[in-house]
Amino acid sequence: MLKAILYKEWIKLRWGLLVIAGLTVLSLAYSIGMINYYIEFQGAFSNWMYVIGKSLLLKNIVFVKILPLITGLAFALLQFVPEMAGNRMRLSYHLPISEKRLLLSSVGIGFMFLLAEILFLFFGLWLVVSINYPAEVVQKALMSTLPWFLGGSAIYFLISFIILEPSWTYRIIYGIVAYGLTDLYFRASTYDQYQTLWAFILIVAVMPLTVMYSGHRFRRGIK
Amino acid sequence: MEHVIECKNLTHYYGNNLVLNDLNLKVERGRIFGILGKNGTGKTTTINILMGFLRPTRGKCLVFGEESHNLSPATRQKIGLLHEGHLAYDFMTIKQVEHFYSQFFPGWKADYYWDLIGKLGLSDNHKIRNMSCGQRSQVVLGLIFAQDPELLILDDYSMGLDPGYRALFIDYLQEYVHEKNKTVFLTSHIIQDVEKVVDDTIIMGYQKLLLKMPLETLKENFHRFEFRNPRAIGVVKSDDDMISNVEYVNDKITIYSFKPLKEIVAYLKKLGISADDIKEIPMTLEEAFIGLTGKY
The C-alpha of B73 sits at a distance from chain A's nearest C-alpha, in angstroms, of 4
Instruction: Report the share of chain A in percent with pLDDT over 90.
Output: 55
A99 CA: distance to closest CA in chain B (Å): 9
**B89 and B212 share one domain:** yes
B116 and B259 fall within a common domain: no
Q: Residue B180 pLDDT more than 80?
A: no
User: Residue A160: what residue type?
Assistant: S
- Co-location of B228 and B202 in the same domain: no
B153 vs A137, more confident = B153
Rounded Cα distance between B13 and B1, Å, is 31
Half-sphere exposure for B24 (CA within 13 Å, toward CB) = 3
3-class state of residue B221 by DSSP: helix
Q: Is A15 on the interface with B (CB under 8 A)?
A: no
Using an 8 Å CB-CB cutoff, list chain A residues near B96: 7, 11
Chain A residues close to B81, C-beta within 8 Å: 94
A216, closest residue in chain B (CA to CA): B53
Q: Are residues B211 and B66 in the same domain?
A: yes
A221 to chain B, any CB pair closer than 8 A? The answer is: yes
**Residue B48 C-alpha, separation from nearest chain A C-alpha, in angstroms:** 9
Residue B139 sits in the same domain as residue B24: yes
Parent domain of B279: 222-293
Report the candidate in B14, B110, B37 with the shortest Cα–Cα distance to residue B294. B37
Q: Tell me the mean pLDDT in the region B55-62.
A: 92
Mode of pairing for the β-strands spanning B208-214 and B223-228? unpaired
Q: Do B87 and A1 touch (CB under 8 A)?
A: no
Q: Which residues contact B119 (CB under 8 A, 6 or more apart)?
A: B138, B168
Query: Both B114 and B260 in a single domain?
Result: no
Nearest chain B residue to A84 by CA distance is: B89
- Helix ranges (DSSP H) in A49-134: 62-84, 89-93, 99-132
Chain A contact set for B85 (CB, 8 A): 86
Judged against a pLDDT cut of 80, whether residue B178 lies above it is answered with no
Pick from A96, A98, A220: CB nearest B77? A96
Same domain, B161 and B233: no
Give the sign of the dihedral formed by CA A46, CA A49, CA A52, CA A54: negative
Q: What is the pLDDT of residue B252?
A: 87
- Of B202, B217, B232, the one marking the end of a domain is B217
Q: pLDDT-derived band of residue B90, with 50, 70 and 90 as boundaries? A: very high
Domain count, chain B: 2
Q: Are residues B155 and B282 part of one domain?
A: no
- Give residue-wise pLDDT tens across range A43-98: 777 777 766 665 666 666 777 888 999 999 999 999 999 999 888 999 999 999 99
Residues A188-199: tens digit of each pLDDT: 654 556 667 888
Q: Are residues B11 and B125 in the same domain?
A: yes
CATH assignment at residue B229 = 3.30.70
Between A21-25, B6-10, B228-232, the lowest mean confidence (pLDDT) is in B228-232
Taking an 8 Å cut-off on Cβ atoms, the answer to whether A94 and B73 are in contact is: no
pLDDT of residue B127: 94
Residue of A1, A12, A88 with shortest CB distance to B103 = A1
CB contact (8 A) between residue A90 and residue B83: yes
Q: Classify residue B127 by its DSSP letter.
A: B
User: Which pLDDT score, from 0 to 100, does residue B273 have?
Assistant: 83
Question: ∠B143-B145-B147 over CA atoms, to 5°?
Answer: 70
pLDDT of B195 over the 70 cut: yes
pLDDT: is A165 or B211 the higher one? A165
What's the ipTM? 0.86
Half-sphere exposure of B217 (CA within 13 A, CB side): 8
Transcribe B157-195 into DSSP letters.
TTTT--HHHHHHHHHHHHHHHHHHT-EEEEE-S-HHHHH
Angstrom distance (rounded) from CA B41 to CA B26: 18
Query: Is residue B17 domain-shared with residue B35, that is, in the same domain?
Result: yes
Cα–Cα distance between B51 and B5 in angstroms, integer? 11
Among chain A residues, CA nearest to B127: A11
Least confident window among A153-157, A158-162, B22-26: B22-26
Q: Does the pLDDT value for residue A170 go beyond 90?
A: yes
The DSSP symbol for B277 reads T
Mean pLDDT of chain A: 87
Of B217, B233, B265, which residue sits at a domain end? B217
Q: Domain of B153: which CATH number?
A: 3.40.50.300
pLDDT tens across B250-280, in order?
A: 888 898 998 888 888 888 888 888 878 889 9
- Do B121 and B78 belong together in one domain? yes
- Among chain B residues, the shortest Cα distance to A218 is held by B53
Q: Are residues B134 and B280 in the same domain?
A: no
Question: Are the beta carbons of A74 and A187 closer than 8 angstroms?
Answer: no
- Kindly list the residues from chain A whose CB atom is less than 8 angstroms away from the CB atom of residue B149: none
A73-to-A58, A156, A159, B185, B219 alpha-carbon distances in Å:
22, 5, 7, 41, 58
With beta carbons under 8 A apart, name residues in chain A contacting B100.
4, 7-8
Q: Which of B188, B217, B246 is the last residue of a domain?
A: B217
Nearest to A161 by CA among A151, A149, A171, A169: A171
Separation between Cα atoms, residue A73 and residue A81, nearest integer Å: 11
Report the C-alpha gap between B79 and B184 in whole angstroms.
10
